[in-house]
Structure 1
Amino acid sequence: MALNGCSIWGCAKALQPATSTLSLNSKHDLGKCGKWRRCCSSVVNGVESSFQYADRVQVQITELDDGFHKDLNMLPKPLTANKFSSSRDGTKLCVAYKGLAGAYTEEAALKAYPKCETVPCDDFETSLQAVESGLVDKAVLPIESSEGGSIHHNYDLLLDHKLHIVGEVQLLINHCLLGLTGATKENLKFVLSHPQALVQCEMMLTDLAVTNIGVDDTAAAAKAVSLDGRRNIGAIASSRAAKLYGLHILAEGIQDDDNITRCLILARDPILPETNGSYKTSIVFSLQEGPGVLMKALEVFGLRNINLSKIESRPVKRYPVRLRDDSKYESIKYFDNLFYIDFEASMTNPNAQHALESLQEYTTFIRVLGCYPVDKTDISC
């Protein structure tokens, strides 16, 4: 039976094996979904105590670059899960992201939607909840980078929320060393940034012989340096963060290697893919028991000349152990896995539809996370 149209399909089967005595009841009740129903596819301790000031100090800056906020408190405050507000007027596209203004995730949002209103959030979970609640239209979720690989927690979040992937953004990360007016990189004693950014700029930091201090966000590091007021403290963050927090760029492109981060755009409703153009489809599924099942599952794409651009396996966290029946004896299987796959085809493509039909023969659960245009923008240095 052919799959009709180009809608985004939901769960094919319950996320549980027929032979299992343990059910996998997710909070979204995946087990109730009918076959191909359109349902759910839907600061680290500082060197000095003065680093612990972010919410207590108010600073007025008098010598400013153009576009810099005179009062840092005028910048939008991050949303928290228990402090949602429904005061938006709905006239402007709102995109949520994790971090403070000037974070790389905000940069990704602005690359995708240059005229949008960006909404900072305390964490990725909150940004997705903001979309689900209708407070914002979309959210940016980093999913992998060329430097650090897959962001496993964010893969888990894709399944935890009833949202759809509607786009992707490939962002070239350009780390900058920031400091106050009059600061020089040779006089720095401490450098603040997200731990990953510190690792990615290890060669320069080693040459400077500074003390590295990890904070939750690169933009938070820039804000901390701006508020602290000492010229021997620097931050690694984006050039946008330098402008927002009134800092000077002491060095640019300081990362050891080029780093491209891929971010997903999530929304409440799926997009309708066009028949022409380059599209990517993301799915997640679990497999039946048996030898060679994973190979057979992947072959349904290769046999139809569909390229797989990504495969990621994640253990089922809620039920990592399940019982299985090996003909005569009941045994225990550890680390039951989910497989996340990106394939380069639109859901309007009949080959993609037939591949997903065939895939059902080997799966106990399948969900289409989204079908969306491939980001082909130039991200060269």
Structure 2
Amino acid sequence: MASAPSLKIPNPSSPAASATSRDRRHLLVTIPSTVASPTSPRRRSASLAVAFAAASASAASINGGGVPKINGHPRINGFEPAAGLRVAFQGAPGAYSEFAAKTALLGCDTLPCRAFADAISAVERGLADRAILPVESTMEGAALRNYDLLLRHDLRVVQEISLFVNYCLLAMPGVSPAEVRRVISHPVALAHCGRALAQLGLHRCEPVEDTAGAVEMLRSNRLLDTAAIASPRAALLYGLDVLAHGVQDESWNVTRFLLLAAPTSLAAAGAAVHPKQTPLKTSMVVAHRGGSMVVLLKVLSAFSRRNINLTKLEVINSSSKEDKAPVFILDVKAKGTLRAFPHVLYVDFEGSTEDPKAMEAIDEISQTAELVRILGCYAADPNVYDLH
């Protein structure tokens, strides 16, 4: 059957400040973020489909018709091929996490898992060499809360990758837009596309476990009155029609992923992701029980006086009065004790833990904070990659 015609949806404007307003527990400051908006002015198009097509054409033009780029960056990051490396991800085949893994580690094998915790468990049990977790997005901030999951386990961040997320409306072959009565996808994807779906008259939205799972459900049950929100790669993988491209409410939609490895594999991982002359980034968590502002100022002062740039600073404050759960952190230095803290700071800074200045800053912070844990030191990657 011929493919259904693509819908053209007027691109709704939205205040950029709404990206982090959904999670009022947290203060997130990114300086600068790997998922920040492009420096050049964002050009609005008459439709989301046209906007994405224009962006793709512009990217190809910048690169002289070679490898496509997003915001001037190539989609392939130049790391060594990783054939045979097993990467666990949450979701069904075709999920954004799987594409991020295959982009970050060329030629790797992927292991689908039902939950993020299962992906981490696969690494701990030796069933996978890496786990990949989405941790931040331009539309959700850090509301994904996978950092909290990372803190409960003894894994290390060994790589980062930021992926341009292009949501598409997919349907069974031959199904026309007028036949669609409901939309299924991951709850975050549905939230990201709320206004565009409303403009299409699609008000019946039902959440499922993940975007690729929605596509799998659509295909296996041959649902002719249902569309799914997923990636264009998922459409190719499952043989579905794309009814509309770029149905996200914000045209610039980027998610940052972290790849995790067990401590025992750190030596091999370091050789793979730390090429010579590559700028390094370190992620750490600072936990304390009182004097939240004192510790925050201590962190800022310790890095500022040594001219060390921060690329991320997230402050989490929980309180029993406000019925907010504390953050649990595995204290790897205390025989794996799981400890609860009401105040936590996530910090990313430019440089390595082996840098004397960085070591001095960490020691200074440790004198005030109750717990400081290094989550990983890895190659900094400011690029944003697409799925084309």
Gap regions ≥5 residues in structure 2: 1-81, 319-323, 328-339
Report deviation, 1:226: 1.0
What's the counterpart of residue 128 of structure 1?
120
Q: Kindly indicate whether residue 286 of structure 2 is the aligned counterpart of residue 285 of structure 1.
A: yes
What's the counterpart of residue 229 of structure 2?
236
CA distance in 1, matches of 2:386, 2:206: 30
Report deviation, 1:159: 1.4
Report deviation, 1:152: 5.2
What's the counterpart of residue 353 of structure 2?
347
After TM superposition, the structure 1 stretch with the greater mean CA deviation from structure 2, 157-166 or 228-237, is 228-237
Kept after mapping to 2: 8 A contact 1:142/1:151:
no
Write the mapping of 1:339-378 to structure 2, written as runs, cut at 5 A.
Answer: 339-378=345-384
Q: Kindly indicate whether residue 132 of structure 2 is the aligned counterpart of residue 140 of structure 1.
A: yes
What's the counterpart of residue 260 of structure 2?
266
Larger Rg: 1
CA distance in 1, matches of 2:313, 2:182: 40
CA distance in 2, matches of 1:228, 1:95: 28
Superposed CA deviations along residues 119-173 of structure 1, whole A, max 9, x for unmatched, are 0001011100110111100000111111011145311112111110000010111
What's the counterpart of residue 314 of structure 2?
312
Superposed CA deviations along residues 264-322 of structure 1, whole A, max 9, x for unmatched, are 000013344567321110111223745733202321001111111112234588878xx
Q: Which amino acid aligns with 2:282?
A: T
Q: Kindly indicate whether residue 192 of structure 2 is the aligned counterpart of residue 200 of structure 1.
A: yes
Kept after mapping to 1: 8 A contact 2:83/2:109:
no
What's the counterpart of residue 215 of structure 2?
222
Write the mapping of 1:21-40 to structure 2, written as runs, cut at 5 A.
Answer: none
Report deviation, 1:348: 3.0
Write the mapping of 1:1-381 to structure 2, written as runs, cut at 5 A.
Answer: 92-151=84-143, 153-210=145-202, 211-257=204-250, 258-268=252-262, 269-270=265-266, 271-272=269-270, 273=274, 276-287=277-288, 289-290=290-291, 292-314=294-316, 336-379=342-385
Kept after mapping to 1: 8 A contact 2:313/2:347:
yes
With the length of structure 1 as denominator, give the TM-score of the two structures: 0.68
What's the counterpart of residue 331 of structure 2?
none
Superposed CA deviations along residues 192-230 of structure 1, whole A, max 9, x for unmatched, are 111211121123211221221111111111111112324
Q: Which amino acid aligns with 1:134?
A: G
Q: Which amino acid aligns with 1:107?
A: F
Kept after mapping to 2: 8 A contact 1:166/1:372:
yes
For 2:93, what is the secondary structure of its paired residue? coil
RMSD: 2.6
Report deviation, 1:251: 1.2
With the length of structure 2 as denominator, give the TM-score of the two structures: 0.67
CA distance in 1, matches of 2:382, 2:311: 14
Aligned pairs, how many?
Answer: 280
Kept after mapping to 1: 8 A contact 2:89/2:110:
yes
Kept after mapping to 1: 8 A contact 2:288/2:341:
no
CA distance in 2, matches of 1:314, 1:304: 25
CA distance in 2, matches of 1:361, 1:353: 13
